[in-house]
């Protein structure tokens, strides 16, 4: 059954980050299915395809070639069928401008990539287990950036 597991997508141009990401979920042993895309164009091509299954959580890197995370976020929020996806910004930096912009554009949470694998696992586990309905309702600028 498709709905038995949590469908997770990561769009990141960095090979190492994709590796950490999939390794972390492997070690977490949660009921998740992880797909990764190498840039914004690949991601949007998939999401726009007719038979695409919408993920439960989309992890979006900001700095990507061809199509940036911000552009993807814009397109997703503008499209009807994708607007329900929970979007977690997954970026190296946590600059005020980026946080502000993605919050305004409607992202659900902002994660600064941790520099420790244990910390990474903890963050991902936390994000995946968030009750998005509840989180979105009480979302504000202070709890938008995930602090561990």
Partner 1 sequence: MENKNFFKSSLFIKIILLGSLFVILLIGGFTYKHISNLTNSTKVVVYTYEVNVELERLNSYLIDAESVHRKYTLTKDTLYLAPSLIARKKINNSFLQLKELTIVNIKQQENLIILSKLIDNLFLNFDKTNRLVKNNEISTETFKTLFFEEKVILDAIRRQVNEIIELENKLLKDRQKEYQSDLQFTPLFFYFVLLMTLVIIVMSLNKINIDLIKIKAKNDQLLIFKESTNQSEIIGKHGNWVWHINANIFTYSDNLYRLLGEEPQSFEANFDNFLKFVHPEDVDRLTKDLDRMIVNEELPFVSYRIVQKDGSTKYLKAYAKAFFSIDGQKRLLGITSDITDEIENFLALEERNLELERNNKELSGFNYVASHDLQEPLRKIQTFISRLEDRESDKFSEAGLQYLERINSAIKRMRTLIDDLLQFSRTTKPDKVFVVADMNELFENAKQDVAVLILEKKAKITCDLLPNAQVITFQIQQLFLNLLSNSLKYIQTGKAPIIKINYETVKAKDDPNLVKATKSIYHKITFADNGIGFEQKYSEKIFDLFNRLHNKQDYSGTGIGLSICKKIIENHQGFIFAKGKINVGAVFTIYLPVN
Chain residues binding partner 1 by CB under 8 A are 14, 16-17, 20, 63, 92-93, 95, 113-118, 120
Q: How far, in Å, CA of 105 to CA of 69, rounded?
A: 11
Is the Cβ of residue 86 or residue 89 nearer to partner 1 in the bound state? Answer: 89
Q: Find the shortest distance in angstroms from Cβ 141 to partner 1.
A: 15
Distances (CA, A) of 144 to 28, 45, 113, 139: 24, 28, 15, 6
Q: Find the shortest distance in angstroms from Cβ 115 to partner 1.
A: 4
Q: Find the shortest distance in angstroms from Cβ 64 to partner 1.
A: 13
Let me know: does 58 contact 87? Beta carbons within 8 Å.
yes
Q: How far, in Å, CA of 71 to CA of 56, rounded?
A: 20
Is the Cβ of residue 5 or residue 117 nearer to partner 1 in the bound state? Answer: 117
Is the Cβ of residue 14 or residue 75 nearer to partner 1 in the bound state? Answer: 14
Let me know: does 91 contact 61? Beta carbons within 8 Å.
yes
Six token digits for residue 117:
């694998």
Is the Cβ of residue 23 or residue 84 nearer to partner 1 in the bound state? Answer: 23
Q: Find the shortest distance in angstroms from Cβ 116 to partner 1.
A: 5
């Amino acid at each position: 059954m498709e709905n038995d597991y949590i469908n997770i997508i990561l769009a990141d141009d960095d090979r190492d980050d994709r590796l950490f990401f999939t390794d972390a979920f492997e070690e977490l042993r949660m009921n998740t299915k992880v797909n990764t895309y190498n840039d914004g164009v690949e991601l949007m091509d998939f999401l726009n395809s007719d038979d695409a299954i919408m993920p439960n959580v989309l992890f979006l890197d900001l700095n990507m070639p061809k199509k940036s995370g911000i552009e993807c976020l814009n397109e997703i929020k503008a499209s009807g069928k994708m607007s329900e996806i929970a979007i977690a910004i997954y970026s190296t930096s946590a600059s005020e401008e980026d946080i502000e912009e993605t919050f305004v554009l409607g992202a659900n949470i902002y994660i600064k990539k941790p520099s420790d694998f244990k910390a990474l696992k903890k963050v991902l586990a936390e994000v995946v287990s968030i009750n998005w309905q509840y989180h979105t309702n009480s979302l504000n600028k202070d709890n938008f950036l995930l602090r561990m």
